[in-house]
Amino acid sequence: MAIQLSDHFTYRKLFRFCLPSIVMMVFTSIYGVVDGLFVSNFVGKVPFAAINLVMPFLMILGGFGFMIGTGGCALVAKTLGEKDTERANRYFSMLVNLTAVLGVILSVIGIVFMRPISVMLGATEAMLQDCVVYGRVVLVFNSAFMLQNVFQSFLTAAEKPKLGLAVTVAAGVTNMVLDALFIAGFRWGVTGAALATGISQCVGGILPFIYFFRPNKSLLRLVRTGFEADILLKACGNGSSELMSNISGSLVSIVYNFQLLRFSGENGVAAYGVLMYVQFIFIAIFIGYTIGTGPVVGYHYGAGHYDELKNLLKKSFLLMGTAGIVMMLLSRGLARPLAAIFVGYDAELLAMTVHAFKLFSFSFILAGFNIFTSSFFTALSNGGISAAISFLRTLVFQLLSVLLLPLVLGLDGIWWAITVAEAFAFVISVGFLAAKRGRYHYM
In the Cβ-directed half-sphere of 45, how many Cα atoms lie within 13 Å? Answer: 19
Q: Residue 32's pLDDT is what?
A: 66
For 440, the 3-state DSSP assignment is helix
d(CA 61, CA 140): 12
Rounded CA separation 34/200 (Å) = 12
What pLDDT score was predicted for residue 242? 67
Q: Both ends of the chain: CA-CA distance in Å?
A: 30
Confidence at residue 261, expressed as pLDDT on a 0 to 100 scale: 83
**pLDDT at position 346 over 60:** yes
Q: What's the chain's average pLDDT?
A: 89
Within 8 A by CB and 6+ apart from 46, the residues are 126, 127, 130, 266
User: Which of 111, 126, 134 has its CA nearest to residue 38?
Assistant: 134
**Position with higher pLDDT, 234 vs 154:** 154
Q: Can you say whether residue 313 is alpha, beta or left, with left for phi > 0 and alpha for psi between -120 and 50 degrees?
A: alpha
Gap between the Cα atoms of 250 and 247, Å rounded: 5
The residue length of the chain stands at 443
Cα–Cα distance for residue pair 202/21, rounded to 1 Å:
19
Express each pLDDT in 49-90 by its tens digit.
889 889 888 988 888 888 898 788 878 988 988 889 999 999
Cα 290 from Cα 310, distance rounded (Å)? 16
Question: What is the Cα–Cα distance from 332 to 218, expressed in whole angstroms?
Answer: 42
Predicted pLDDT of residue 55: 86
- What's the rounded Cα separation, in Å, for the pair 201 and 145? 5
Section 255-273 average pLDDT:
86
Task: For residue 228, give the 3-state DSSP assignment.
Answer: coil
CB 26 within 8 A of CB 108: no
